[in-house]
Amino acid sequence: MEISRRKLLLSTLFGAGAVGLRALATGLPASFLLSPRKALADLPNMCANRDKAQYIIFSTSGSGDPINANVPGTYMDHNISHPLDPMMAATALTIAGRSYTAAQPWSTLPQNVLDRTCFWHLMTNTPVHPKEPDVLKLMGSTQPTEMFPSLLAKYVAPCLGTIQAQPVSVGAASPSEGLSYAGAALPIIPPPALKATLTSPAGPLTNLQMLRDQTLGQLYDLYKNGASPAQKAYIDSLVQSQAQVRGISQNLLDSLSAIRDSSVGAQITAALALIQMNVTPCVAINIPFGRDNHSDAQLQNETTQHISGVAAIGTLMAGLASAGLQDKVTFVTLNVFGRTLGPSNTDGRNHNPNHQVSITIGKPLKGGVIGGVAPKSNDYGATNIDSRTGNGSASGDIAAVDTLASFAKTVMTSVGIDAGVVSSAIHGGTVITPALA
């Protein structure tokens, strides 16, 4: 039974015939291994936006975390409630040369990370936990009802040459946090399952060098007799040496072997491994920032999880830098809703359909703050956004209800997806060009 589950997971991750493992072992794209002659013929038509394409690590939660309560943009109004713990004190920080105020944990991120960090004040227009899939579908703005992370994955996959276009979720804590692709639900792969499948003594990562030699041997005749000098040069530029394959194998085994549970740290390890193996363009994780905190006395859990949440982001960024991926991976968050912000929120917060904060950290997006927050009804909500400046403004041309679609369009544009594709994939909203690096 266990062997069958492992085979199923290997097939899910690496495709029929373990094409993904052969791609990892050789350095050649999976598309090349599946159809070498066609791939060589298609070389002149390689992805035009290859240099802009980014992998995505996507943090999403159906809990409605209070991440929106303690970020830049929420310290302009003294009536907005923040935790009183000194570790969450209002702190000055600089992002891309501009001064902001945020809860102290955000100031602990390295300056080079902060300079790429953007806080987006958005409206998800729902106060209902199980609506998380609808928020990921941008509340009806996608065509045809595709999820935002799946759209990202679908359109950057050809440029990245990943084994599959579907995203992979390693962090979903409930079915409502799971992902779908083209309307089909995707499996959730907890980090321990990934570890058990890939790091066993007879696991695939221990046989990469042999797999490399076997695969290259099978391609030898095509390489020798069917490829032009330019095509041979292309193949040679991609093929991994025995030493490189040995290093890849050992590094992945070492990192995956450290997984003990499904904690945030384990999710980050799994996400980095999946990207290094070029399995998918998008990995979904779940970083908590206070969860569903209706009865959070003195906002203590909000404090604790903000500190650990920002630390987790720091760990992720350090891991990307260590792997040389800091310019190839963009971190994106989108949760079902934010929390209420008014002055009565000192022992817990309620659901806020009008304000949620998303975070992006990556090379293709400018650091700073997009949008803002203002009084709405008996609490606070996201403002309209001026598409020319990115500032929150009552007179902004992007209505608050359209900020979610605008956020998605801007992120898709930033990773090199064609403007026509972005427009047809998401209706409503406007690309916020000042957010683009």
Specify whether 175 is located in the same domain as 220.
no
Specify whether 207 is located in the same domain as 295.
no
Which residues form the domain of 256?
A: 1-46+193-261
Please report, in tens digits, the pLDDT of each residue of the chain (437 residues total). 455 777 788 888 888 778 889 999 998 888 888 888 887 776 655 566 778 999 999 999 999 999 999 999 999 999 999 999 999 999 999 999 999 999 999 999 999 999 999 999 999 999 999 999 999 999 999 988 899 999 999 999 988 988 899 999 999 988 889 999 999 999 999 999 999 989 988 788 988 999 999 999 999 888 888 888 888 888 898 899 999 999 999 999 999 999 999 999 999 999 999 999 999 999 999 999 999 999 999 999 999 999 999 999 999 999 999 999 999 999 999 999 999 999 999 999 999 999 999 999 999 999 999 999 999 999 999 999 999 999 999 999 999 999 999 999 999 999 999 999 999 999 999 999 999 99
Specify whether 274 is located in the same domain as 227.
no
- Residues 386, 430 contacting (CB under 8 angstroms): no
Specify whether 254 is located in the same domain as 382.
no
Specify whether 60 is located in the same domain as 140.
yes
- Residues 198, 205 contacting (CB under 8 angstroms): yes
Specify whether 417 is located in the same domain as 356.
yes
Specify whether 153 is located in the same domain as 234.
no
C-alpha to C-alpha distance for 119 and 370, rounded to whole angstroms: 6
Whether residue 144 has a cis bond before it, omega within 30° of 0 = yes
CATH classification of the domain holding 77: 3.40.720
Asked which of 232, 261, 290 is the last residue of a domain, the reply is 261
Q: For residue 54, give the amino acid letter.
A: Q
Q: How much is the pTM?
A: 0.94
Specify whether 351 is located in the same domain as 286.
yes
Specify whether 370 is located in the same domain as 289.
yes
Q: Which of 174, 80, 60 is nearest to 380 (CA)?
A: 80
At residue 214, the pLDDT reads 92
- Residues 135, 336 contacting (CB under 8 angstroms): yes
Specify whether 270 is located in the same domain as 255.
no
Asked which of 261, 289, 321 is the last residue of a domain, the reply is 261
Specify whether 76 is located in the same domain as 179.
yes
**Number of domains forming the structure of the chain:** 2
Asked which of 261, 280, 315 is the last residue of a domain, the reply is 261
Specify whether 139 is located in the same domain as 219.
no
